[in-house]
Structure 1
Amino acid sequence: MAKKNPTDLTVEEKLKALYQLQTYLSAIDEKRALRGELPLEVQDLEDELAGLNTRLEKINGEIEDFRVAVVQKKGEIATAEASIARYKAQLEEVKNNREYDTLSKEIEFQSLEVELCNKKIKEAGVRVEEKQKELEEAQALIADREAALKEKRTELDDIMQETRDEEEKLKNRARDLEEKIEAGLLRSFKRIRKGARNGLGLTVVQRGSCGGCFNKIPPQRQLDVKMHKKILVCEYCGRILIDPELAGVKPVETAEEKPKRKRAVRKTAKKAESDEDAGEA
């Protein structure tokens, strides 16, 4: 049997196909809702761990820089102390005051260099201790986040395992059905569905109102929806409208209005007296 062209479908057939597609897609949404915020929580933890690991690398790099600086300063101290020893030895062989003053100034300068290097080494030591504390805090935080991530992934995997097979079946059914729907109509349906808060691109008319936004639909438009002569949308929310009978949904009956009881009008005492006087006359 030749496959029916989507453009040859009647309005009723198009609406039925869209409603069935909406049913499949809503079921898929429900499966995904079961996962809740878990995928986002897993992603947030992964991003946080990536940031923490980058921070860890930075701290380790800073600690290494301080240690290299300490080694460098110790080398400078050794050089300065060697110079001081040499200058002191030369002091014993000076021949005039000028040479003595020059050597004394060099010794003083090198001594200041040694003091400055020792100060830098001490400061670097303090900074290394601070960075070590930051490193330990970061490592503890990473361990905590890794444990939380493992727990969330396990929870997500369990839920995924429960819903994956059924969700895949629904996706296959939806894809098969989409091939039977006119391309332009399908694009419009998906666009409407994407913009709808509850994911409904097509909705049933119930109690004279749109099932998506619950706004009242004019009687004439309700009649047009029942006639199935063309695809109609809600003038408020833009969702495609379908009547309950075509969708196979039991219509919700509106509450019948209770007949209004006539209120008895009581005659006032004055009015009663007037009536009696008129009778006597």
Structure 2
Amino acid sequence: MAKKVEISVEDRLRALYDLQLIDSRIDEIRNVRGELPLEVQDLEDEVEGLNTRLEKLGTSLDLVDEDIKSKKNLIEEAKALIKKYSEQQKNVRNNREFNSLTKEVEFQELEIQLAEKHIKEFKVQIEQKKEVISETKDRLKDRTTHLKHKRSELDAILAETQKEEEALIKKSDDYQKQIEDRLVKAYLRIRNNVKNGLAVVAIERGASGGSFFTIPPQVQVEIASRKKVITDEHSGRILVDAVLAEEQKAKMEKMFAKL
């Protein structure tokens, strides 16, 4: 790995502020996308879940149909046995044989009644499942249309910003390599600990950018001298003077325009 060239404190501050401007620009691009990628992912998951549910409902419906067929076969078998036993009753030799066959007939009749009861229950299940399938299909159609719309939105934003974002990420990496590791780690730590991602801020009206805490005049003079890296005692952010900030903003705006 190439050794980093030793640079002055002012150059470090300028490089840090440039890095902040690049990373803030990346943040802006990502904010434009906002929650869209998550919304698209959630919709994709929901559509997949609805499709899985429809498959399971379809399989369940097939199983109930099979159960109905099975019960209908049982009824036909029972009817055949009743016919058989009734024929046998005509040729019995005694009451014991007749009563035995009568019991067999009664048993098969009960089997038929039970099977018919189950068939009715299965048909109710089928109607209920068909209703759920219909509702699920409507939901799937609605979610699929919504997903298509959201994907289109996201694709349009990505088409506009992806090239610039990729170029900015590379610039961010390049600028980090120009700054000593200790400062980069401090910058990234501060950036990750603040909501707006601002780790390097300019003094605005005597206060740290985005803060209401006034910076003592002596400290402001030190910051303007650019002889050392100074942090805000309240927020921990790295501070730069307004003139340096304006100069770097103008420089970086020109670079952004070329991306």
Q: Give TM-score scaled by structure 1 length.
A: 0.81
* CA apart distance, 1:245: 2.7
CA distance in 2, matches of 1:40, 1:190: 25
* CA apart distance, 1:7: 6.5
Give the aligned partner of residue 145 of structure 1.
143
| Contact 1:212-1:237 within 8 A present in 2 as well | no
* CA apart distance, 1:221: 3.4
The reply to whether residue 199 of structure 1 matches residue 217 of structure 2 is no
Give the aligned partner of residue 222 of structure 1.
220
CA distance in 2, matches of 1:97, 1:223: 123
CA distance in 2, matches of 1:9, 1:21: 16
The correspondence for 2:160, drawn from 159, 162, 173, is: 162
Give the aligned partner of residue 122 of structure 1.
120
Per-residue deviation, residues 79-137 of structure 1 (Å, max 9, x unmatched): 21122111111211222222222211111111011111111111111211111121111
SS at match of 1:78: helix
Residues 1:34 and 1:240: Cα distance change in structure 2 (over 3 Å)? same
| Contact 1:87-1:106 within 8 A present in 2 as well | yes
Higher relative contact order (Cα pairs below 8 Å, separated by 6+ residues) = 2
> Structure 2 counterpart of 1:149, which letter?
L
Unaligned runs of 5+ in 1: 251-281
> Structure 2 counterpart of 1:47, which letter?
D
> Structure 1 counterpart of 2:80, which letter?
A
| Contact 1:212-1:239 within 8 A present in 2 as well | no
> Structure 1 counterpart of 2:8, which letter?
T
Give the aligned partner of residue 274 of structure 1.
none
The correspondence for 2:30, drawn from 29, 32, 38, is: 32
CA distance in 2, matches of 1:183, 1:177: 11
Give the aligned partner of residue 235 of structure 2.
237
SS at match of 2:231: coil
Root mean square deviation, CA, Å:
2.1
For residues 66-81 of structure 1, the aligned pairs below 5 Å read: 66-81=64-79
> Structure 2 counterpart of 1:39, which letter?
P
CA distance in 2, matches of 1:116, 1:4: 86
CA distance in 2, matches of 1:183, 1:209: 28
Pair member with larger Rg:
1
* CA apart distance, 1:165: 2.2
* CA apart distance, 1:249: 5.8
The correspondence for 2:131, drawn from 130, 133, 136, is: 133
* CA apart distance, 1:173: 1.8
CA distance in 2, matches of 1:161, 1:78: 66
* CA apart distance, 1:214: 2.9
Q: Give TM-score scaled by structure 2 length.
A: 0.88
SS at match of 1:203: strand
Q: Which runs of 4+ in 1 moved over 6 A?
A: none
> Structure 1 counterpart of 2:75, which letter?
I
